[in-house]
Structure 1
Amino acid sequence: MFDIGVNLTSSQFAKDRPDVVARARAAGLRGMLITGTNAEESAEAAALAAEHPGFCWATAGVHPHAASGWGEATADRLRELAALPQVAAIGECGLDFNRNFSDPASQERAFTAQLALAAELQKPVFLHCRDAHARFIALLAPWVPQLPGVVVHCFTGTQAELEACLALGASIGITGWVCDERRGLELRALLPLIPADRLLLETDAPYLLPRDLTPKPASRRNEPCFLPHIVQQVAIWRQEDPKWLGEKTDDNARRLFRLA
């Protein structure tokens, strides 16, 4: 099992990061990708990944929420980080028109610049899209032939949006959102439409704690050690063997991010 989305730099993990990684190993995970969301946190993610060689890797990127700060200095810093052996992808980058913490024009500029950087460096991209599907696809599509890999992280869109992402050749990251009986049912119904070789699984910890965990954890903080639960549930809804699915999605992650 491989968790492709862990926000290990989050302050929610400040007191027990080593224990979080240890619990993930004990739960049967074979790897984790630590998410970078701005230049500073990308550097922190790379440093954390270096502490756990062969088990943790990192992304380096600027989330759309932070896109208003994009500039040449940020691009240069990401380029430096991407040269590190533990940095496996450019991102988290993309568009988020739900909250617009950065204005749409800044988001589009930062997104396009990071797609160009990933193409230059031949790194896969780790992507975010919320309430921005049409522009997201329009900006992404011209770059796809130049990129070694694309994953749409934490996908929660419609069937039409899923089909558009798959048509571009993107892999799809599924989180514990799918375990939410209030808002995850539409996504749950789409699981069988994702080809097995394009499915990736993630916790997005410390966010998106699966609502159907039993017993419920005392804390609402999500952890990568809960990934086996997501694997189990997705396997049920896809009518696949959980052990096989865990191994398959692990293989998919290693292939996409070109990991040993």
Structure 2
Amino acid sequence: MASSNVSDDFLPDALRFRSPHPLVDIGANLTHDSFRHDLDAVIDRARRANVGTLILTGSDFDHSEQAAVLAEHYQGLYTTAGLHPHVADQWSDDLGRNLAALQRRPEVVAVGECGLDYNRNFSVPRDQETAFEGQLQLAAESGLPLFIHERDAGQRMREILKAWRDDITHAVIHCFTADRETLHGYLDLDLHVGLTGWLCDERRGHHLRDLVGDIPLNRLMVETDCPYLLPRNLPAKLKGRRHEPALLPWIVREIAHWRGMTEDALAYATTTTAMAFFGLKEVTTHCTDDSQHAGEA
């Protein structure tokens, strides 16, 4: 476990938030190199912000395995295990068998990050679809939920998921950024939706503010997708601009505002949904003196 004595001078006072209810960050890329030298402090700050349960993102076999090791050593950490569409050309039968074995570990709670990305096409669409179908099969066999990446591929994603929907349990479209039609298509398939700090970006996320109210509370979850997608409207600048789980309460506050509900109510609802989605029994909490958190409203 991370030490409670870890220095907390990375975040300025205005960014030391604390959620009124324990939160689950369903998408944290803590195997990213930027966390290599201060992971204990990152996890400590998350707990002080009342973000005690973190679902790490496994984007390929190596990172999935690294995340599983971290989840073994830190209370409140779990992970997904899968192959991101950017590296879908790595898919093979052997990789599928290795991922299946990894997904049997108790700290692995979802298949993914998998899906389709037709925005960048780092792997060709044919390879992306092959890898995605392979991981849908893994989810169908294991009963684990799916952690899905989709960008500029909403129609094809819905077609594939519709064909598999009766074979899989739950699925979340993580870091949702698309339009109303795509959102409602996913909701019609009984999917969950993960929202990030994209909502806080006035350049490209403004449209999401009009959509958040369309997502039922029992389908909505929250995430940082750190170290990416640092909210642009934070009340203070952050050194290095690396996003981290301790900032999730700010995202929850923003979503709650645009839904017209309290931060506490949204925090409670998204945590309840996430715990059920990933099959977790109890949320990890960390008590601390609220006076240490000047950023709390």
SS at match of 2:127: helix
| Structure 2 gap segments, 5+ residues each | 1-22, 282-297
Is 1:128 paired with 2:128?
no
Tell me the equivalent position of 1:27.
49
SS at match of 1:245: helix
Q: RCO higher in 1 or 2 (8 Å CA, sep ≥ 6)?
A: 2
Tell me the equivalent position of 1:104.
125
Instruction: List per-residue Cα deviations over 1:142-187 (Å, max 9, x = no partner).
Output: 2122212110000000000000000000000000000011111111
Assess if the C-alpha contact under 8 Å between 1:144 and 1:150 holds in 2.
no
Assess if the C-alpha contact under 8 Å between 1:96 and 1:131 holds in 2.
yes
Instruction: List per-residue Cα deviations over 1:63-95 (Å, max 9, x = no partner).
Output: 000100100111111111111101000000000
Alignment equivalent of 1:223, drawn from 244, 266, 286: 244
**Hey, what's the Cα distance between the residues in 2 that align with 1:13 and 1:35?**
14
**Hey, what's the Cα distance between the residues in 2 that align with 1:151 and 1:100?**
21
Alignment equivalent of 1:76, drawn from 92, 97, 109: 97
Query: Matches of residues 161-172 of structure 1 in structure 2 within 5 Å?
Result: 161-172=182-193
Larger of the two Rg values belongs to structure? 2
Tell me the equivalent position of 1:255.
276
SS at match of 1:99: coil
Alignment equivalent of 1:209, drawn from 219, 225, 230: 230
SS at match of 1:243: helix
| Structure 1 gap segments, 5+ residues each | none
Counterpart AA for 1:250 = T
**Hey, what's the Cα distance between the residues in 1 that align with 2:42 and 2:166?**
37
Tell me the equivalent position of 1:176.
197
**Hey, what's the Cα distance between the residues in 2 that align with 1:105 and 1:210?**
33
Runs of 4+ residues over 6 Å off in structure 1: none
Hey, which of these two has a bigger chunk of helix by percent?
A: 1
The CA deviation at 1:30 is: 2.7
Alignment equivalent of 1:57, drawn from 63, 66, 78: 78
**Hey, what's the Cα distance between the residues in 1 that align with 2:189 and 2:164?**
10
Counterpart AA for 1:41 = H
Alignment equivalent of 1:157, drawn from 167, 178, 188: 178
Tell me the equivalent position of 1:16.
38
Assess if the C-alpha contact under 8 Å between 1:65 and 1:102 holds in 2.
yes
Tell me the equivalent position of 2:206.
185
**Hey, what's the Cα distance between the residues in 2 that align with 1:94 and 1:136?**
8
Supply the RMSD in Å over aligned alpha carbons. 0.8
What TM-score does the superposition give when structure 2 sets the normalisation length?
0.86
What TM-score does the superposition give when structure 1 sets the normalisation length?
0.98
Percent sequence identity is: 45
Tell me the equivalent position of 1:141.
162
